[in-house]
Amino acid sequence: MPETLTVTDNRTGKTIEVPISDGTIPAMGFRQLKSSADDFGLMVYDPAFTNTASCRSAITFIDGDVGILEYRGYPIEELAEKSTYLETAFLIIYGHLPNAAELAEWTHNITYHTFVHENIRKFMDGFRYDAHPMGMLISTVAALSTFYPDAANVDDARSREIQTVRLIAKMPTLAAFAYRQLHGLPLVYPDNDLSYPANFTSMLWKMSEAKYAANPVLERAIDILFILHADHEQNCSANAMRAVGSSRPDPFSATAAAAAALYGPLHGGANEAVLRMLMSIGDKKNVPAFVKSVKSGEGGRLMGFGHRVYKNYDPRAKIIKRTADQVFEITGRNPLLDIALELERIALEDDYFIQRKLYPNVDFYSGIIYQALGFPVEMFPVLFAIPRTAGWVAQWREMIVDSEQKIARPRQVYTGDRKKSYVPIGKR
Ligand code: CMC
C-alpha cells in the first residue's frame, strides 16, 4: 500500500501526490497547487494548531483517547510511584533513566546551583506588596538572562548544559522568594543538605528554627505533584518555549515566555480557577444548580474539566486524587474536596459532559492539595511552573538541535483592506 496521498485541485484539475509519514502529510506539499500562475499556492488553515504537528519529539507520549501519558516511554503511574522529580527531570531531558553515578552528579549539580544573585532580592523588593507571584516568577526568570550572558550561546552544547542545570535549580528559589515576598516574610536561602522538594518547603516555610524539618509525607506529595507536571508534549507553554526559542534567544528569556503562557486560566492558571470556582459554589447542595448554569453557558466553564488531548480521564488526575488522601491525613481534610467529588460525580453522569468527552484534568484536584498544604491560590500556577521547567528545557533542547526546525513563523489569511491611499487628517 503506497504511503501517499493523492489530491486533485478541482479549480485546475491538477493532481499531486504527497508523502504520508508517521501519519502526517507535509503542509508544504500543497504549495504547488495554484489557481493561477501568480497564485502563492495552497496553504493549510489551522487556527490554534488543532490538527497540526509542529515538530518531531521523542519526549512525551500521550494517547488522549485512552488516557495514557508516558515520559520517554515510561508510564506516568510508575514514575509517580517509584521515581523522584529530579530523576524524572533527568529522564525527560536526557532520554534515559540515570544510573547511580549519573543521578548523583545530576543531583549534586542541581543542588549547588540553587542560589541566585543577591540583586534578585532587590528585584523582589521592587514589586508592589500584593504582586502576583507568577508575575514575580516570570520577571525574575527573565532577569536571570542578564546575569548569565553566556546563556546566549544556544548553539554551544556546554552552555546548554549549564543553563539547563541553572534553570531547574533556581526556579524553586525564585518561586519561594515570590511566596515570601507575598507574605512580607524574610527570604530564606536554599539549604543544600536537603532534597529538591524538602529544600523548597524550607525556603517557603522556615521561620526561626536553625534547620527546617520537612514532613516526609508532604515532601513526597510535592515531589509526586512535580513528577506529574514535568512535561506534557506540545501544550501552550511548551509551544511558546519552542516558538520563542526558535529565534534563538537565551533559554531564560524563552522560559519567561513559556511561564507567561502557563499563567493563563485555560492552561496552568486553571487550578487557581478551579479553587475559586469551588469556593464560589460553597456547598455540595449547590452543585446541581452550578452544573446547570455551566450547561446553559451562564456559569462559565466547569474549570478543571476538559482537555484538548485527553478525551478520557486524565491519568494525572487519578494519581493526584490518591495523593490527596495521604496529604489530608496530615493536614486535615479540605472541605472543598466534597464539593469537587460531587461535581465530578454529577458531571460524569451528565449527557452534556459525556457527549463532549469532558473529564477531570490534572488541575481539578491539584488545587485542593495545594490549598491543604497552605498555599494561597496565587501560588498554584507557580507550583506548576517549577516542575514544568524540566519539560520546557527538554523541548527547547530538542528544538535547538532539530535540523528540520527553523524560526517559527506561521502564515496568515489576510482579511483586511488593500491598496488604500493615505488621506490627510483634515479630509477624514
Ligand atoms: N466546561 C464546560 N464545557 C466545556 C468545557 C468545560 N470545562 N471544556 C470544553 N467545553 C465544551 C465547549 O463549550 C465546547 O462545546 P460546544 O461543542 O457545544 O461548543 C466543547 O466542549 C469543546 O470545547 P473546546 O473549547 O473546543 O475544546 P478545546 O480543546 O479548545 O479546549 C480546554 C480545551 C482545556 C481549553 C477546555 O476544555 C477548557 O476550557 N477547560 C477548562 C479549563 C481547564 O481546566 N484547563 C486546564 C487544562 S489541563 C492543564 C493544562 O493544560 O494546563
For ligand 1, whether the C-beta of 199 sits within 6 Å is no
Q: Whose CA is nearest to atom 4 of ligand 1?
A: 301
Q: In this structure, what C-alpha cell is assigned to residue 344? A: 465530578
- C-alpha 302 – ligand 1 centre gap (Å): 8
For ligand 1, whether the C-beta of 164 sits within 6 Å is no
Q: Is 39 a catalytic residue?
A: no
For ligand 1, whether the C-beta of 104 sits within 6 Å is no
- C-alpha 340 – ligand 1 centre gap (Å): 18
For ligand 1, whether the C-beta of 311 sits within 6 Å is no
Q: To 5 degrees, how large is the angle CA 104–CA 106–CA 112? A: 100
Residues 6 or more apart whose CB falls under 8 angstroms from that of 408 comprise: 54, 242, 243, 246, 247
Q: According to the model, what pLDDT value does residue 108 have?
A: 98
Rounded-to-integer distance, Cα 349 and Cα 345, Å:
7
Q: Is 117 a catalytic residue?
A: no
- Domains belonging to the chain, first-starting first, are 72-428 (1.10.580.10)
For ligand 1, whether the C-beta of 291 sits within 6 Å is no
Catalytic residue among 232, 250, 307, 314: 307
Q: 231, 233, 301: which to mutate for ligand 1, most atoms within 8 A of CB?
A: 301
Q: E strands, 178-303, where? A: none
Query: Contact 272/375 with Cβ under 8 angstroms?
Result: no
Q: Whose CA is nearest to atom 38 of ligand 1?
A: 306
- C-alpha 72 – ligand 1 centre gap (Å): 27
Q: In this structure, what C-alpha cell is assigned to residue 233? A: 508534549
Report the Cα 289 to chain-centroid distance in Å: 32
Catalytic residue among 267, 338, 350, 402: 267
Q: According to the model, what pLDDT value does residue 209 have?
A: 95
For ligand 1, whether the C-beta of 361 sits within 6 Å is yes
Q: To 5 degrees, how large is the angle CA 405–CA 94–CA 222? A: 110
Rounded-to-integer distance, Cα 311 and Cα 308, Å:
8
- C-alpha 305 – ligand 1 centre gap (Å): 7
β-partners of residue 69 are 62
β-partners of residue 21 are 24
Q: According to the model, what pLDDT value does residue 269 have?
A: 82
Q: According to the model, what pLDDT value does residue 29 have?
A: 94
- C-alpha 357 – ligand 1 centre gap (Å): 10
* C-alpha torsion 190→194→196→202, nearest 10: -50
pTM of the model: 0.93
Q: According to the model, what pLDDT value does residue 334 have?
A: 87
- The per-residue pLDDT string of the chain (428 residues; one tens digit each, 9 = 90 and over) reads 889 999 999 999 999 999 999 999 999 999 999 999 999 999 999 999 999 999 999 999 999 999 999 999 999 999 999 999 999 999 999 999 999 999 999 999 999 999 999 999 999 999 999 999 999 999 999 999 999 999 999 999 999 999 999 999 999 999 999 999 999 999 999 999 999 999 999 999 999 999 999 999 999 999 999 999 999 999 999 999 999 999 999 999 999 999 999 999 888 888 888 999 999 999 999 999 999 999 999 989 999 999 989 999 899 999 998 899 899 999 998 889 999 999 999 999 999 999 999 999 988 999 899 999 999 999 999 999 999 999 999 999 999 999 999 999 999 999 999 999 999 999 99
Q: 225, 281, 294, 361: which to mutate for ligand 1, most atoms within 8 A of CB?
A: 361
For 276-318, the pLDDT digits (tens) are: 999 999 999 999 999 999 999 998 999 999 998 999 989 999 9
Q: According to the model, what pLDDT value does residue 335 have?
A: 87
For ligand 1, whether the C-beta of 106 sits within 6 Å is no
For ligand 1, whether the C-beta of 275 sits within 6 Å is no
Q: Is 314 a catalytic residue?
A: no
For ligand 1, whether the C-beta of 362 sits within 6 Å is yes
For ligand 1, whether the C-beta of 363 sits within 6 Å is yes
Rounded-to-integer distance, Cα 89 and Cα 83, Å:
10
